[in-house]
Amino acid sequence: MRVDVLEEHGYESALLGLSLSYRQEPERMAAVARRLRFLGEGHNKYLESIVVWLDMTAPRYFWQQFDTYRVGVTKQSESTMHTLTSRPLAQDDFAHPVPPEYLDHLNRLIAANDWEEAKAGVPESLLQRRVVCLNYMVLQRMIRQRKTHRLPEWHLFVARVLEAVQHPELLEDGGGS
């Protein structure tokens, strides 16, 4: 699994918007933003203004859970219909090894351009790439809900996001404010 931040924008604009309620300069709002980040009920709505684009490659079973987060998330992905039969599959196309005889079976279906049977038989560990656009509010919710999930891909996702974004202190409570 791979998670890369492509772009991140909006921190300064979010602080400007937050400063309107406090009649202070945006430069002085970072401490207020940290204090409000977990309050909810509109107090942390400025997090919706900080937008992040991620380039991710993950197995299909991860995407099924990721798709729980629909509000505030836009995804563009490799189309299974267009990409599955474009070339033979290899072991590195999967998050977990596929028995060689089964991989051969899938590749025979692909060679015969039998897209429907190939798609029906492809394991859930098939890696799929997506570009995902979301905001800090959604990332904060994902991190809170999934950081202790039993699926190891969520642990990797959380760790990678927190190390790659510009303001991780707004996403996870590290015990301080």
Q: Are 162 and 143 contacting, i.e. CB atoms less than 8 angstroms apart?
A: yes
Which pLDDT band holds residue 176 (cuts at 50, 70, 90)? Answer: very low
Q: What pLDDT digit, counting tens, does each position of 74-87 carry?
A: 999 987 777 888 89
| pLDDT confidence of residue 42 | 85
Are residues 121 and 132 part of one domain?
Answer: no
Q: Determine, yes or no, domain membership for 42.
A: yes
Residue pair 78/122 in contact (Cβ under 8 Å)? The answer is no
In a domain, 175, yes or no: no
- Residue 27's φ and ψ, nearest 5 degrees, are -60, -25
pLDDT at 174: 64
Question: Looking at the structure, do residues 9 and 94 belong to the same domain, yes or no?
Answer: no
Chain segment 143-163, per-residue pLDDT in tens: 999 999 999 999 999 999 999
pLDDT of residue 81: 74
Closest listed residue to residue 75, CA positions, set 131, 136, 6: 131
2-61: pLDDT as tens digits = 999 999 999 999 999 999 988 888 888 999 999 999 998 889 999 999 999 999 999 999
Confidence (pLDDT) at 146: 95
Beta bridge partners of 56: 3, 130
96 domain-assigned: yes
Q: Is residue 110 part of a domain?
A: yes
Residue 63 within any structural domain of the chain: no
Type of residue at 175: G
- Does residue 176 form part of some domain? no
Please give the residue range of the domain that contains residue 156: 2-58+69-76+128-170
Q: Which residue has the higher pLDDT, 164 or 26?
A: 164
